[in-house]
Structure 1
Amino acid sequence: MKKLVLVHWHPGEATLFRRELETLGWQVFCVDRSEKTRLKPIREFQPRLFLISLSRLPSHGQAFARAVWSTAWARNIPILFFDGSTETVTEYKRLFPDAYFCRRENIAVAIQKILEE
């Protein structure tokens, strides 16, 4: 099964977005700002992709990305950041040069391209 981790700042919006992703055939593990990043359950989930919102609280997404990329098991799992201001995206491209970036409306296409690489 296709699995991804969704990191989103707002639990309610994350739930709605999770449902959209599930209709596209994804099994989704959600991480929101209300919980500490616990990597063990994420590792056990075995995601193929990390999908991180930059729309608000981008520092939460940054902390999560740094945490997963600092582990041997997650270092090669692609990270796709979506949305965020021009300034935030520019900064994150510098901080995470191997990550991918897109707008929310282009996520399905971006995921497909990333996983085909």
Structure 2
Amino acid sequence: MAKLFYLHWREAELRERLAPLRKAGYDVAGHANIESLAQFGEALPDAVIISLDRLPSHGRTAAEWFWEAKKRQHVPIIFAGGEPDKIKTTKEKFPQAIFCATAELPERIARLVKEK
């Protein structure tokens, strides 16, 4: 079972977003603030999901922090949702990341798990 970390900036919406992933059998930890990132230690997730639907600049900051350490650079980051202009900006900064619509997450994660 893949271990996922989902970062979204509104707690009530986050719970709704976690439900389909948990239903698909993933072990998902969800957080609504950037301080949660510091808790990883050595127990890294298999993938990090960052919502671009709210505060996309915060999401980019979180991704930047996550990938700045070499020991975390192998963990894929999936950016979910977002307005087209925010997605474009984020793709320019993180071309190696994965991008998809929020509704496509379970399917996209399933493909990612198969690729590993």
Give the TM-score normalised by structure 2.
0.89
Query: Structure 1 CA distance, aligned partners of 2:48 and 2:75?
Result: 7
Query: Structure 2 CA distance, aligned partners of 1:78 and 1:38?
Result: 15
Say if 2:16 is the partner of 1:16: yes
Matched-pair identity in %: 30
Query: Structure 2 CA distance, aligned partners of 1:67 and 1:7?
Result: 13
Q: Deviations over 1:64-109 (max 9, x none)?
A: 1001100122101111101111101111111001001011111112
Query: Structure 2 CA distance, aligned partners of 1:60 and 1:104?
Result: 17
Which residue identity does 2:30 align to in structure 1?
C
Moved over 3 A (4+): none
- 2:6–2:31 Cα contact (<8 Å) kept: yes
- 1:54–1:84 Cα contact (<8 Å) kept: yes
Residue 43 of structure 1 and its aligned partner are, at CA, apart by 3.6
Query: Structure 2 CA distance, aligned partners of 1:26 and 1:44?
Result: 20
Say if 2:98 is the partner of 1:100: yes
Pairing 1:1-117 to 2, within 5 Å after superposition: 1-33=1-33, 36-39=35-38, 41-117=39-115
The alpha-carbon distance between structure 1 residues 87 and 24, as it changes in their structure 2 partners (threshold 3 A), is: same
The two structures, once aligned, show a CA RMSD in angstroms of 1.6
Query: Structure 2 CA distance, aligned partners of 1:69 and 1:2?
Result: 19
Structure 1 unaligned segments of length 5 or more: list them.
none
Aligned residues: 115
The alpha-carbon distance between structure 1 residues 55 and 38, as it changes in their structure 2 partners (threshold 3 A), is: closer
- 1:29–1:42 Cα contact (<8 Å) kept: no
Give the TM-score normalised by structure 1.
0.88
Structure 2 residue matching 1:9: 3-state secondary structure: coil
